[in-house]
Amino acid sequence: MAVKIFSGRATAYLADKIANAYGEPLGEVIYQQFSDGEMSPFIATSVRGHEVFLIQSTFPPSDNLMELLLMVDACRRASAKSVNVVIPYFGYARQDRKDKPRVAIAAKLHANLISAAGASRIMTCDLHADQIQGFFDIPVDHLDGAYIFVPYLKSLGLDNIMFASPDVGGIKRARSFAKFFDAELAVCDKHRKEANKIESMRLIGEVDGKDVILVDDLVDTAGTICKAASLLKEKGARSVRAVCTHGVLSGKAYDNINNSVLEEIVVTDTIPLKGDSSKIKVLTVSNLFAKAIRKIHDNESISSLFMKL
């Protein structure tokens, strides 16, 4: 049973690298579009009886999700043996619960749509909340960005490393890094009344003289990360860096980062960057996903792709 790898338009830059790392050419998808914007992707090669991997992150606009759903449906109707959906960045994951009256749980709706389209399996990286895996009734391979970040952080050779979470919700992720490096942990406790607007922030922990690494799953406007970095420097940190798997980087993110005290912010290529900054370093997840695809195809465990954090 052969593997066929295809990509949506939004993630073609990454899918090409994943296919090259896997050693299988990227399959051709022809995109037809009506004048009103309605799209119709056409899988140009036969997938009958094959194990198909469709690669597409679902960041805005919503057309990226719709395009993915149409490709899943097309492959299923073309008698693919299995349709594995590879979503390096799973959009709408921040809306994972009903935190106030009359709001949608968009992450659950996102999961329902993918399952209803006919996906056999989901592969993604660093969901905003681990419990989103439970929104699916099909297998979910939840890869860990630490596999990419840990070797890079080791290469920096920092003498007095310490890890910090920019908010209380990210403590588990930051603690995992701290445990792996046998380092201390600090927490920046933030309070905000609405999305992307921080009212106040205070530090829990001692960071004087430390090389602090802020850890988060994504960076959007970079307001939280930059404010946390300033607070850490004010409290005596020798240097502050950040590792964030998904570089959403919207609004004034680039200005915020360029004007911040951050030494650098390290992201992956799950989302294409919209601009350039000397403070932003991009690491690729292509080898990680290529290895996961091979192990799934060979019916092997993917446990070796996780750092023992």
Q: Tens of pLDDT along 201-256?
A: 899 999 999 999 999 999 999 999 999 999 999 999 999 999 999 999 999 999 99
Pairwise CA distance, residues 232 & 239, whole Å: 9
Q: Could you give the 3-state DSSP secondary structure of residue 218?
A: strand
**Residue numbers belonging to the annotated binding site for Mg(2+):** 128, 167
Q: Please report the domains of the chain, with CATH numbers, ordered by start residue.
A: 3-143+287-305 (3.40.50.2020), 146-284 (3.40.50.2020)
**Residue numbers belonging to the annotated binding site:** 36-38, 94-95, 128, 167, 192, 216, 220-224
Compute how many other C-beta atoms are within 10 angstroms of the C-beta atom of residue 304: 9
Note the pLDDT tens digit of each residue in 90-133: 999 999 999 899 999 999 999 999 999 999 999 999 999 999 99
Burial of 136 (0-12, 13-18, 19+ CB in 10 A): middle
Is the CA virtual torsion 181, 186, 187, 188 positive or negative?
A: negative
Please tell me the predicted confidence (pLDDT) of residue 192: 58
| Active-site residue, selected from the candidate residues 4, 17, 108, 190 | 190
Note the pLDDT tens digit of each residue in 267-304: 999 999 999 999 999 999 999 999 999 999 999 999 99
**Nearest C-alpha neighbor of 281 from the set 301, 257, 260:** 257
Pairwise CA distance, residues 202 & 186, whole Å: 11
Please tell me the predicted confidence (pLDDT) of residue 169: 85
**Residue numbers belonging to the annotated binding site for ATP:** 36-38, 94-95
Tell me what the mean pLDDT of segment 145-163 comes to. Answer: 96
- What is this structure's pTM? 0.93
- The DSSP 8-state label assigned to residue 276 in this structure reads -
DSSP string, 165-205: ESSGGGHHHHHHHHHHTT-EEEEEEEE-SBTTB--EEEEES
**Residue numbers belonging to the annotated binding site for D-ribose 5-phosphate:** 192, 216, 220-224
Instruction: Examine the residue annotation and report whether 227 is marked as an active-site residue of this protein.
Output: no
